[in-house]
A and B are shown apart, each in its own frame.
Chain A
Amino acid sequence: MLFAKDEDMENMRRRAFFRSFGRDISIRSRVSGLFLMVAGSLMVVAFALIYVQVERDVYNHIDEELNEEAGEFVRGLQVTENGILFKDQAEWMERSHVAVDFYPKFVQVVAAGRVPEIARRSFNLFSDTLRYDPSLDNVAFYNSDISGASVRQVQVPVFHKESAGTAAWVVVAVPLEESLFVLSDLRTVLFFSLSVILIILFFVTRVIAGKSLAPLEKVIDTAEKITQENLDERIGLPANKDEIYRLSSTINSLLDRLQAVYTREKQFTADASHELKTPLASILGTLEVLVRKPREPGHYKARIGFCIDELKRMSGLIDQLLLLARYDSDTFRPDINVFDAKGTLAVVLGRVDEQIREKELDVRVRDEGSAMVRADASMLEIMLDNIVVNAVKYSSEGGSVSIVFGNSSDRVVCSVTDAGPGIAAEKIDRVFERFYRVDESRNSQTSGTGLGLAIVKKLADIQGIAVHLSNREEGGTTVILDIPAA
């Protein structure tokens, strides 16, 4: 077991190594490597074509000459029953290159028979003979050698006039050394130039790739240095609006969004901790001071009553925080049903009945259409509860609260209007932020936790309800809920 495991581990490590080996190669090396491979292959093909063409030209040229020369000789031959006759002995003598030519041609005539026999040889062959292939019965060009020296030769059959059988072969050869030398020289030049060009290309592409990727390195360096401590740093944008510019500005806007979320979360945590610690501190301190010495029963009652109120406040705050946390999670799905929102409003109003009577508020509900909505009933109740409680809380004594249900196309519009002090224009945009409070002195009788409207907004977003809050010219605030109708 242990061994098997070790082996597996080893295999995994090896695989990981090979994977990382391929992956760890930088773009710079990959680009230059790829470019080099493509350029190299193209050059090899081009050079091969050049070489093949030159070689063919060289051989064509030689073969043409050989053909011409052989033709002359064949024409000078006469085939009879007795053998081969040379039409003009003098001409043969002249043609057969007595002198050692600068570009000599060697000629040999082979008489066919049961045993082929060399009938004539040019003098410049001295004691050498040209090779020939008696099995060939048509014109053939091939490379051969004379005592080790390369030659190109042509073998031309000469036929009997009657029997059409081969009577003789004329073999003509020219030295090939020169041409072979030229070709091998060409090969060498092509090979070396290919190598040199490839090496130069390799370094040039590396430098160019490196240069064009250098801004990327800068981006990486900057991005690497950004942590939660310096989230406000940004990557410098290059002057040209190229891909690097786009990458940098994309990363920057990603950082903007991250920073906004991070700041909001940090602020929320700080606010939540402050809101929880403050009542805790006042309860703790009050009780500590209370037990320092014996006191009147009434004193105890007052202080403990205060602590109970503070604990209730804390408990309410914790409920709201948990509510937000639950609805913040992505897995949460609202339970959407069709129901009458007026019923929900009645339940909510019943709950604040005592406060309404205490402040002698005039609460009017008016419906100008159906209030059948498509929403999550428990969520809508929480939303209406927060809005109505706010309206009651901020209304001055004897004031009025009006709640109107209306319809517009496929929506139910519910507006709650109070006759309270309204909200300062510069603060109205922020009322849905968590822990944001319009009233700065957080401890007046009217203030809550600062989470009510944030919860309303959150629940509205989940259910596809639009919330709008505005000041009325005659004073007071209107909250409008735009709910999908059934």
Chain B
Amino acid sequence: MRILIVEDEPGIAGFLKEGLEEECFAVDVADNGREGLAMALSSDYDLLVVDWLLPGLSGVELCRQFRKENTQVPVIFLTAKDTLDDVIFGLESGADDYIKKPFAFEELLARIRVQLRTPFSESSLLQAGGVEMNLAAHRVACNGKEVSLTPKEFALLEYLLHNKGSVCTRSRIIEHVWDIHFDADTSVIDVYVNFLRKKLDVSGCADLIETVRGVGYVIREG
């Protein structure tokens, strides 16, 4: 899952990037409104975290302009503005959620998960074949046995499970699992898929991830 943080305060942007990356998100940071909007519109992000008071373009204006182009990607407002009017104004400008500073990192994480979960599914549990992924506990089990994954492997598996049943192209996987600093060498994905398959093979789930020749990878239903 790839997240864009638009935040001008380096202290906050710093720990957000660090914390979210440790939770296996790919994170990009923009430190002003205009750059943030340009990045949000040009890349395929799964979620935006936007500060309200930004140089260049305010978070509210960013959100409005972004919503004209894109109504799918959830936006979470992150701001020190805390009056009822501010909250309502923020949500009405097109944000999906609103967190007041200062906030607990765990709360932000939970709210991000809420925004990212597929409709009608349990918030933190993804499943396919014999594989069970618990996002909150950050654990993967294969046929009841726990599998230890690196953050990137975890993120890759999470992305494929989220899009269960549909084929994920290599470029989409890159966009959603790796951040903007990744140079587009898609063979890295094949390497990580191989790592994943090997780890899952130990518990007998090797054929979970299917290769679609020349396109990408898919996890089938069931």
A: which residues have CB within 8 A of B?
A: 270, 273-274, 277-286, 288-290, 292-293, 306, 310, 440-443
B181: shortest Cβ distance to chain A, in Å? 20
A363: shortest Cβ distance to chain B, in Å? 30
Chain B 1-20 against A: per-residue CB contact (8 Å), 1 yes, 0 no? 00000001111101110110
Q: Per a CB cutoff under 8 Å, which of A274, A310, A442 touches B81?
A: A274
Asked if A273 contacts B80 (CB within 8 A), the reply is yes
B13: shortest Cβ distance to chain A, in Å? 9
Contacts of A292 in B (CB 8 A): 19, 22, 105
Asked if B101 contacts A443 (CB within 8 A), the reply is no
Asked if B81 contacts A441 (CB within 8 A), the reply is no
In angstroms, Cα B55 to Cα A306, docked, is 23
Interface class of chain B by DSSP: loop
Contacts of A306 in B (CB 8 A): 11, 14
* A286 and B80 in contact, given A292-B19, A441-B31 (Cβ under 8 angstroms): no
B165 beta carbon closer than 8 Å to chain A: no
Contacts of A280 in B (CB 8 A): 101-102
19 contacts between A and B (CB under 8 A): A273-B82, A274-B53, A274-B81, A277-B82, A277-B101, A278-B12, A280-B101, A281-B12, A281-B102, A281-B103, A284-B104, A285-B16, A285-B103, A286-B14, A288-B106, A289-B15, A292-B105, A441-B32, A441-B55
A334: shortest Cβ distance to chain B, in Å? 34
Contacts of A273 in B (CB 8 A): 80, 82
In angstroms, Cα B58 to Cα A274, docked, is 15
Q: Per a CB cutoff under 8 Å, which of A277, A279, A288, A310 touches B104?
A: A288
Chain B 68-109 against A: per-residue CB contact (8 Å), 1 yes, 0 no? 000000000000111000000000000000000111111000
Q: Per a CB cutoff under 8 Å, which of A270, A279, A289, A441 touches B18?
A: A289
Q: Give 14 A-B pairs besides A273-B80, A274-B80, A292-B105 with Cβ atoms closer than 8 angstroms.
A: A277-B102, A278-B9, A281-B102, A282-B9, A282-B12, A283-B11, A285-B12, A285-B15, A286-B14, A288-B19, A289-B22, A289-B105, A441-B8, A443-B9
B129 beta carbon closer than 8 Å to chain A: no
Q: Which 8 A-B pairs have the closest CB atoms?
A: A282-B11, A289-B19, A281-B102, A281-B101, A440-B55, A277-B80, A288-B105, A274-B80
In angstroms, Cα B31 to Cα A443, docked, is 10
B: which residues have CB within 8 A of A?
A: 8-12, 14-16, 18-19, 22, 31-32, 53, 55-56, 80-82, 101-106
In angstroms, Cα B182 to Cα A436, docked, is 39
Asked if B106 contacts A443 (CB within 8 A), the reply is no
In angstroms, Cα B102 to Cα A310, docked, is 14
Asked if B80 contacts A443 (CB within 8 A), the reply is no
In angstroms, Cα B10 to Cα A279, docked, is 10
Contacts of A281 in B (CB 8 A): 9, 12, 80, 101-103
A338: shortest Cβ distance to chain B, in Å? 45
B144: shortest Cβ distance to chain A, in Å? 26
* A278 and B55 in contact, given A288-B106, A292-B22 (Cβ under 8 angstroms): no
* A443 and B8 in contact, given A280-B102, A281-B80, A281-B102 (Cβ under 8 angstroms): yes
A262: shortest Cβ distance to chain B, in Å? 15
Q: Which residue of chain A lies nearest to B83 when distances are taken between CB atoms in the complex? A: A270
In angstroms, Cα B12 to Cα A306, docked, is 11
In angstroms, Cα B53 to Cα A283, docked, is 19
A275: shortest Cβ distance to chain B, in Å? 8
In angstroms, Cα B12 to Cα A310, docked, is 11
A479: shortest Cβ distance to chain B, in Å? 25
Q: Which residue of chain A lies nearest to B107 when distances are taken between CB atoms in the complex? A: A288
Contacts of A274 in B (CB 8 A): 53, 80-81
Contacts of A442 in B (CB 8 A): 8-9, 55
Contacts of B82 in A (CB 8 A): 273, 277
B152: shortest Cβ distance to chain A, in Å? 16
* A284 and B53 in contact, given A273-B82, A274-B81 (Cβ under 8 angstroms): no
Asked if B105 contacts A440 (CB within 8 A), the reply is no
In angstroms, Cα B102 to Cα A274, docked, is 10
- Interface centre among B12, B16, B56, B81, by most chain A C-beta atoms within 10 angstroms, is B12
* A284 and B102 in contact, given A279-B11, A441-B55 (Cβ under 8 angstroms): yes
Contacts of B9 in A (CB 8 A): 278, 281-282, 442-443
In angstroms, Cα B11 to Cα A288, docked, is 13
B150: shortest Cβ distance to chain A, in Å? 14
